[in-house]
Structure 1
Amino acid sequence: MRIRSYLAILVLACLLGAYMLEQVLGYRFNHVQILASKHTQSLLRAKDFERIENSTSQFLVSTDLVIASGNTYLIFGAKNMGDYISAELSKIQGVNLSAELNAEIKKTIVNIKNINKQLDTIGNTPEKELITHLRQLLPNYDSISLSLVKSIQFMMSETKNTIQQDTIALQKEKSFIVIAAWVSRGFFFLFIIAVWWWANRKICNPLNGLIVSSHKALAGHDFQKVDNAPIEITALSNDFKLLTQTLSHQASHDPLTELYNRRAFERHLNEVMGNSEVNDQNWFLCFIDLDYFKTINDTCGHAVGDQVLVSVAHILKQNVRNYDTVARLGGDEFAILINRCTEQKALEIANKIKQAINLLTYHWEGENFNLSASIGVAPKACENTVTELLNSADMACGLAKNSGRNAVYLFDSNQQMCSDTKQQLISVHHLNNALNNNLFVLYKQDIVPLQQQKIGKSFEILLRMLGNDGQLISPAYFLPVAERYLLTSKIDRWVINAVCEHYKSYGDQLESIETIAINLSGYSLTDNELETFIIEKLTNCVIPLDKICFEITETAAIKNIKRAQLFMENIKALGCQFALDDFGSGHSSYAYIKQLPTDKIKIDGAIVANMMNNPIDFTAVKSICEIGKAAKQDIIAEFVEDFSLVEALTKLGVDYAQGYYFAKPEPLTKPPVEANS
């Protein structure tokens, strides 16, 4: 049944109840009115009888004088009085009177008529015979007059009794109607409560159940459908269930690959690590990072990149068991939780996945290229928290990349390298402690001019963090954690402040410096407070602002290109420069050169490192140089580690190079050299 049907029944029931209440009370009120009217009529009749009684007394006095004394001159008045009394009694007769009273009235009228006849006889009797005749009429007259008096007394008594009875009945009815009114209202109130309870059970209870289910769904529980409810509520419940299932799926799954997303995977990992029964079993966490995926996106386009990600997701699902969990953590990063498994089996699954990914090909400009992935495997025995376990797997993946990519690396605490790496695992608490206690150290790496016309000293500011044991920790270990917990803007603020403070003490070095390159994280471009801080800090800084060049990554800039433009223009207004770091080789990247107000382009080191062995990378570097020169921007190549790269880059017109071939990173402030004693 529909809600409107229930509401219609509810309204009709209320109207029916109100109508019945009105009928009951109306009937009782009408009855009171009838009794009141009857009582009033009785009172009026009593007045009439009282008047008739008085008139009868005068009539009898007159007739007594006529018959007893022979005063014939009173005959006419007495007769008129008698006719008047008869007429009044005739009017009263038959109007809601009892049979006895009607009989007495009829009898009274007859007696008056008889007396009037006697008066007529007296009036017609000669005077000399009058005395004799009166003596003959007197006995009959006495009996008639006595009967008349008794009839009048009976009528008065009967009327008084009727008035008393009517008064008692009226009072009883008035008392009864008060009780009846309250009882009727009580029954009506109970009726309304019963109808409300019925409607509440049919409509409100299902609605409350729907609300409770919705709140439970918001808290993360399954949505429970509402049954035995109106059609609309049942339909709404079904829609809510479908909606919550859809939203839950969207909230926990990656829309492209339909794998679990990072949030759902970490929640599942927390549940697994908190479950003692599951935690007692052997399980492993695999961290999978596709090699050079950014190059695929830039050269072949995001459509091809999306197809590659979908294909990789399909490979992962095909090569795991039903009770293993696969997730896409973001970008080209995937994770697998391998349950109830030995170390050998986990490595076998990881290597099988690596080989399957390596067989995957993508197409560009008529050529086929193979894909590869670096996989880190971390057993659950290594760490106690989700963050540390993810960092372990991430670290193992990094070691797999450092070993030449397309490799599987097991994070093993029994090996010395893994043990050293484990000591470098940090948490957000370590980062906050480093920020609060200045446990960061500034390093620099030279940027060397390759063309003869380029002069001056340039370098990039690098960052290291002091660990608990006093050893330096590479940003490769703490920056992913900083990005995960949105601490990169605070780190950028610390670096800018530290550089400005350094040159307050070493201002004499500024004359020989051409450029100081400072990295900004992707989140800094959307941080209005950091932008304000940079402007205020540089305005009061001793460093000439044209010597400062901020490096931002291409991927960070294109996430919000309008905001990046505004940020760069505001900072460039001070006189600073900007370099587009990790610039790719695809044509999709070239459009950003026209949109972003950069001064320099820094080629992605992965492309530079492989350009002598990979024709695509070589062509990409050459293309970037040509586009950069056309845009009047300086070109910087990083990851330069041998002379052959130097020669090739110089011929291509690259302006600057940076890498281990020229200089390794060194502290910005060198420790003082102790004099020999």
Structure 2
Amino acid sequence: MWVSLRVYEGLYEEFVSQELQALSENLANDLLPHMAADDEFPLISVLLRLDEYDNVEFARVYNTQSEIVSAYIGSALVKHKQHAGNENSAGDILLHELDYGLHIEDSHIRVVKIIGEPALPQGKLVISYLIEQSLADSQRKFVVAIVPFVIFILLTAVFLVLELQRRSLQPLFKLIEKMRRVEETKDYAIEVSIEGKSEIKALTHGFNSMMSDINKQTELNRQKNKLLTRQQEQMEKLANFDPLTGLLNRQFLMKCLNIELARAKREEKDVALLFLDLDGFKMVNDSFGHDVGDKLLCKIADVISDSLRLDDIVGRHGGDEFVIILGECSSVEQVEEVAARLVEAIGSDQLVDQWKLETGASIGIALAKDCDFSLTTLMSNADIAMYHSKRNGRGQFTLFTRMMQDDNHRMIRISTSIHTAIENNEFFLVYQPKVDQSSKVVGFEALIRWYNPHLGMVSPAEFIPIAEQSNKISVITLWVMAQVCKDVKHILRQYGETTTISLNLSANDLKDETVTAFVLEKIRELGGLAGAIEFEITESAYLKSFQAGNAFFDDLRALGCKIALDDFGTGYSSLSYLTEFSIDTLKIDRQFVSQIGVSQRSELITVTILEMARHLKLKVCAEGVETLDQATFLIDHGCHLLQGYYYGRPEPICENDEEDGLIPALESQHSM
């Protein structure tokens, strides 16, 4: 605006100057005819035409002698009286001395015009114009006229600028809006259209690329998180559940039991724990394979789950063992009812892969209040009760009592004392004679006995199973083998070179390469006396290590030893494997011999075994002969060897050569 006013001021001054020059020219021409007249009135009349111009200060007409012949004072001069006094002689002198033309001085424009021709001047006309007021008025009018337009122009310009800015920044606003939406929704799968200036296009392109990368990374992270979540769930399942049966595993089961015990103790209630072990599961694995065994475990797991209440907890403790937690047990009778239901359900035949499998369950029951809610003791009590069920015939349940704990402590003491017993020579051998049909002693069976200063006389029926369960039977076998090898020369010297000494091997012995290697070494040390040694093994133990057993027995037979199949007839695979067994003798189990004269069925089975052995060219030894009738029956049906209390009890060897033999009273026994 200031520039416009300055420009306008210049233009206005130029315009006024031109107008003033034209006016002075016209007035000079009009004054010329009256310059020679003596009358001033015509001159004044001409000068009065200046009244039309408000800003004319004054006008003066000078003759050729620079004298004022006429003058005019305008309204502008009246308004500026402060300058009037100065327009006297000095001003006159100054004015009439001005050269012809236009003179601009401060706020005054003065025009000096010649009257007449330049060659013959008649005078001069001086007009003074006050441009300040005129310019101010004109500027005011200009401003009043132009301000609305300027405002309009400015508003229009502002609008256009804002509109252009809005349009140019609209892609940026869209981009910002998208960014806000991404911030709120976390949805990175968006794309902004590329438009606008090059900078905004570049920014939008970069934003789209960034969102695309973030979306890809987010999707990748989502997939990874999903995979990690699934893996975590699988890991939690593997950590807490048995992968085969889907039941709680041992670790998670113990956590649940601990929680139940704490709750029951706080609420002064009881918790019942059932420790369940499958009967005969190992035989299923050995006979049908581990795949069938695994499927049977899954089947049993389902049977157990279906037999329990909704609030009961069941888990797999390991192998063929299961643990059931009965959190709400109001009475012992209720717990026994659950246990009986489980025994009955599991005791039914299970159909697996078209195989009809006979199964059973031995269950031990323990109550939390009996052990002051101790988890370790509760588990131990249930385990002890379960083994009592197994020892009492299997397929049953047993409630834990304090007496069982005493028995268990004795079992532990026996197990831990076996190595000490060998070091202290607490074990000793007794020999039970075997006779032929003429009652002549033709062999002996070496039987181990144990006397402990603290435990007293420990029966083999007690410590042999404990040794097998604690994997210490092989230590006993090594000791027996070494002792028999020491006794064999003395026995043969007393009873002849054809006498046979028998000793027993367990299934664990056949699997232990240390035992088999030791036995073979001892047999080789005997040299020619190896033919006097016979090894007895039960058919069930033979079947557990059939391949390894056959190879081992072949080596023994090659060294001259004999092999006898002990307790024949009590297993369930005898006939199918009999032709594959590398044996020399069958031993009829005492349960058949004891029924001679009592059960015709048992007598028939015994006769059948004797007849079968004769056709297979195998010797037969009957053990457990206690009466004359039993002996007569066996001899009449072709039994080769007899063993039992009727012919002699197991006795220790007599080291004194002057003694008649192992059994002093043997000669007084009945001869057949």
User: Taking structure 1 as the reference length, what is the TM-score of the superposition?
Assistant: 0.48
* Larger relative strand fraction: 2
* Larger relative helix fraction: 1
User: Taking structure 2 as the reference length, what is the TM-score of the superposition?
Assistant: 0.48
Q: Relative contact order (C-alpha < 8 Å, sep 6+): which is higher? A: 1
